[in-house]
Amino acid sequence: MAKRLGTLAFYFFILTVCMGIAQDIDPLEEDAFVKFQNESSVSDRFDYFFATTNRYNSYSAYDWLDTVKRYIKNSEKANDTPAIKKYKLIQSQIYFDIGNFDESVSLSTKIYSDKYELDIKTKELLLDLLDANYSRLELYDKQVDIRKQKRELGLKNNISFYDIYSNLGLHKQAMEDYIHENKRTVAENDYYGLAQYYNTIGNYLLLDKRTSTALTHFSKAMGYIDVYNNDMSTVKTENEIIQANLLKGIIDGNIGKCYVQMKQFEKAIPYLETSISIIEENNIGRTSSEVNENVLALAESHLRIDQLRMAKDYLEIDLELTKTKHILKKNRLFAAYYDRMGDFKNQAFYLQKNVRIQDSLEVNESSIKRQQIAAIIAEENLEDSRRQINKQKLEMEQTRSDMEAMDERSNLVFISLIFTLLGFAGLVFAYLKSIKNQRLIAEQKHIIENSLVEKDSLLKEIHHRVKNNLQMVSSLLSLQTKNTRSKAAIEALEEGKSRVKAMALIHQKLYQNDDLSVIEMQGYIESLVNSVQSVFKKGGHNINITIDAEGVELDIDRAIPFGLILNELVSNSFKYAFPEDDENGKIYIHLRKNGDQGFFEYTDNGIGLPEDSEDRANSSMGIRLMNRLVNQLQSTLNIDKSTEGVRFWFNFK
C-alpha cells in the first residue's frame, strides 16, 4: 500500500505542475483519530466513527484497528456486552474499509445473530455493511436476502435491485429500473443529486459498451458537481465537501475510462491521473474499486501508446484486487507488456495464470450467476404479487367505503332537493336583479365614455391654443428683432425665440397624439433639430445628425426641460462647433429610458470647448440654463472634453 500511495502521489505532483491545478480540502479542526479516543462514552465513539467520512486522514485504518481491538479487550474484561457489540461493529467496518471483506462479513454476521437485542440504528448499520460486503464478494443471492430483511424491518421505503442486475451483467435492465425509480425524485436545484444521477446512468451505459452516450452523461454529471462545489450560497459540512470531491474524482475516472474504450488513450490519461489523486486524497485508508480500475486503465493507455516504462510502473503498484475481472485484466496487461518487450517466458506465465483462473471459475461462475438471477427474479415476482394483493385489498376497502357513502347520499337526496329548489328561486331573483344592475352600469359607462371623449377634445384644444400663443410670442420676438440694431440684443432675442419654439413644438406634438399624457421623443427630436437647422442652414452648414431615441416616450414635465436642453446644445453646435463649415461635421443624439431611469447623451466632433470653458460656464446663460433644467430632471449635467468635439450626458429619473 505504501508503494502504491507513493507512486500515485508522484504522478499527481507531475499532473499539478503541468496543469496548474491545486485542490485542497480543509483539514479537520482536530484529528479524527484523536477526537475518537477523547470521546467520553462508548455510544459517543460509536456515533462519531460512523458520522465521520474522512476518519483516516492522519492515522491509517490499521492504527484504528489496533485501538478498537484494545477497547474490545477492555470491554470483555468488564463483561460489557453492549460495548463489545458496538466496538465489533466498528471493527467490522474497518475491515471492510481495508478490503478484508471475509473478516468483515464474519464479524457482522456474528453480531447480527443477536439481532433481537440490537436497537434499530445498529441493525440498519449492520445490514448496510453486510449488503456492501456481499456486493464486493459477488454473493448477490445473499445480498438479495439482506435487502429483504431491510424491507421487513421497514428500514427502506423502496428496496431496489438495479445495482445487482448490473453486477450480473444485465446493465440495460439495471439502467431502466434506476431511471424509473429515481428520475422524479431528484430536485432541479439538487446539483449533487443530479451529478450522482447522471454518473450512475453513465456507469450502466459504459458497462453496456454504449461509450459515446455514457460520455455525454458523465459530462453532465461533471457540470453539476462543479456547480455544487462552486456554490458559495449554501453552507456545506466537511463530510459533504469530502463526498462531493470524491464524486468528482469518480466522474473524472469514468470520463477517462470512456476515452480508453474509444481508444483515445492520450485524452484518457490526465482524467485517470486526476481521478486517482482526488479519490486517494478523499478516501484515505480505504480500498477503492474505482482506483483499481483507473490504475489498470492507465497501464493499458500507456501500453497502447508505447510508454512501456510507465505502463509497468502502474502494473507493479500493489493493488488490493478483490474482483476476478480485475485480476484477469492485470495478468492480461502484464502478458501484453512482456510481449512488447520480447520476454515470451513471462508472457506465457501470465497467460497461464489467467487460464488457470478461468478454468476454475468457468463452470461454477455461470451456474452461480444463473442461480442468483433466478433468486432476484423470484424476489421481484414475489414483490409484484405482494403489490397486487395490497392493491386488491385497497380496491375492496374503497368499494366498501363507496357503498357506505352511497347509503349516506341517498338519505341526503331529499333534503338536497329542497335546498336546490330554494337555491334556484334565489338564483332567478338574483338574475333579474343583475339584469337591472347591468343596464344601470351600461348607462353609466356610456356617460363616462362621452365625458372622456369631451375631456380629450378639450385637452387637445388647450394644447393647440398654447401652441398658437407660443407661436405668437415667437412672432413678436421676430418683430422685435427687426426693430433692434444691437447685435447682442438680436442674438438674445433669437435664442429666446428658439426656446419658445421648442416649447411650442411640445404642445403641437401633444395635441397631435392620441395619448395626451406622453410625447414620442424620436419624432419630437427630429422636428426640433429640423427647426434649429432651418435657421442655421443659411450659414451654409452641412452637418450629419444621428438621432437614437426610437420607442422612448416622456411626459410633459420631462419633455419641456429636455427639449430646452437639446435646443441649447444643437444651437451651440451650429453656432460654435463648426466654424469652417466642415462637411464631415457630425452630431449624435442618444436617449434611452428603462423603467423609471433614463439616459441622455449628446456629442459632436467639432472644435470642442475652449480652455477657459469652466470659467465661462459660470457666466454663460446657456450653460446655467441647462444646469437648472437638468436639476429639474433630478440629475447633474456632465461635460467630457475629448480630442474631437465635446460630450454632454446625464442620467435622469
575 phi-psi bin (left φ>0, alpha ψ -120 to 50, beta other): alpha
pLDDT value for 573: 85
Terminal C-alpha separation, the chain: 71
Task: Place 402 in a pLDDT band, splitting at 50, 70 and 90.
Answer: confident
- In a 3-state reduction of DSSP, which class is residue 358? helix
Query: What pLDDT, in 10s, does the model give residues 444-469?
Result: 887 777 766 666 666 666 656 666 77
Tens digits of per-residue pLDDT, 325-384?
A: 888 888 888 888 888 888 888 888 888 887 777 665 544 455 555 555 555 555 555 555
| Residue 598, H or E segment | strand 597-604
Helix (H) or strand (E) holding 141: helix 140-153
Q: What is the pTM of this model?
A: 0.44
Q: Where are the alpha helices (DSSP H) in 584-620?
A: 613-619
Higher pLDDT, 387 or 301: 301
> Picking from 340-349, 417-426, 445-454, 584-593, which range would have the lowest pLDDT averaged per residue?
445-454
Task: Over range 536-543, report the average pLDDT.
Answer: 62
For 241-249, what is the mean pLDDT? 89
Comparison of pLDDT for 540 and 261, the residue scoring more = 261
Q: What homologous superfamily does CATH list for 520-525+532-652?
A: Histidine kinase-like ATPase, C-terminal domain (3.30.565.10)
Contact assessment for residue 359 and residue 328, using Cβ atoms and an 8 Å cutoff = no
At 303 the three-state DSSP class reads: helix
How confident is the model at residue 221, as a pLDDT? 92
pLDDT reading at 637 higher than 70: yes
CA distance 574 to 585: 10
Cβ atoms of residues 145 and 134 within 8 Å:
no
In this predicted structure, what is the pLDDT of residue 2? 36
Contact 484, 493 (CB under 8 A): yes
CA distances from 356 to 360, 361, 392 (A): 6, 9, 54
Q: Say yes or no to pLDDT of 237 above 70.
A: yes
Collapse the DSSP code of 601 into the 3-class scheme (helix H, G, I; strand E, B; otherwise coil) and give the result: strand
For range 138-161, the mean pLDDT: 74
Most confident among 62-76, 231-245, 508-522 (mean pLDDT): 62-76
Query: Partners of 650 in the beta sheet?
Result: 600
- The full set of domain ranges for the chain reads 31-159, 168-317, 520-525+532-652
Per-residue cell: 244 = 462531493
Asked whether the domain spanning 520-525+532-652 has the same topology as the one spanning 168-317, the reply is no
Residue 259 pLDDT > 90: yes
**Whether pLDDT at 5 is above 50:** no
pLDDT, tens digit, 9 for 90 and up, residues 561-575: 888 898 888 888 888
User: Do residues 155 and 124 touch, judged by C-beta distance below 8 A?
Assistant: yes
645 phi/psi in degrees, rounded to 5? 80, -155
Band the pLDDT of 312: cuts 50, 70, 90: confident
**pLDDT score recorded for residue 288:** 73
Q: What is the DSSP letter of 538?
A: G
Domain 31-159 has CATH 1.10.3470: no
The confidence score (pLDDT) of residue 18 equals 40
Taking 90 as the threshold, does the pLDDT of residue 252 lie above it?
Answer: yes
Q: What are the beta bridge partners of residue 600?
A: 591, 650
In whole angstroms, give the CA distance from residue 382 to residue 379. 5
Span 21-32, mean pLDDT? Answer: 49
pLDDT of residue 581: 65
Q: Is the pLDDT of residue 389 over 80?
A: no
| Average pLDDT of the residues of the chain | 78
- Contact predicate 501/513, CB 8 Å: no
User: 318 with 99: CB under 8 angstroms?
Assistant: no
pLDDT band (50, 70, 90) for residue 222: very high
Burial track 498-518 (b if 16+ CB lie within 10 A, e otherwise): bbbbbbbbbbbbbbebeeeeb
- Reported as a pLDDT band with limits 50, 70 and 90, residue 60 is confident
Q: Which CATH number fits domain 168-317: 3.40.50.300, 3.40.1170.60, 1.25.40.10, 2.40.50.100?
A: 1.25.40.10
Cβ(111)–Cβ(89) below 8 Å:
yes
Q: How confident is the model at residue 223 (pLDDT cuts 50, 70, 90)?
A: very high
Coil, strand or helix at 279: helix
Distance CA 4, CA 19 (A): 23
Mean pLDDT over 21-34 rounds to: 54
Quickly state the pLDDT bin for 23 (edges 50, 70, 90). very low
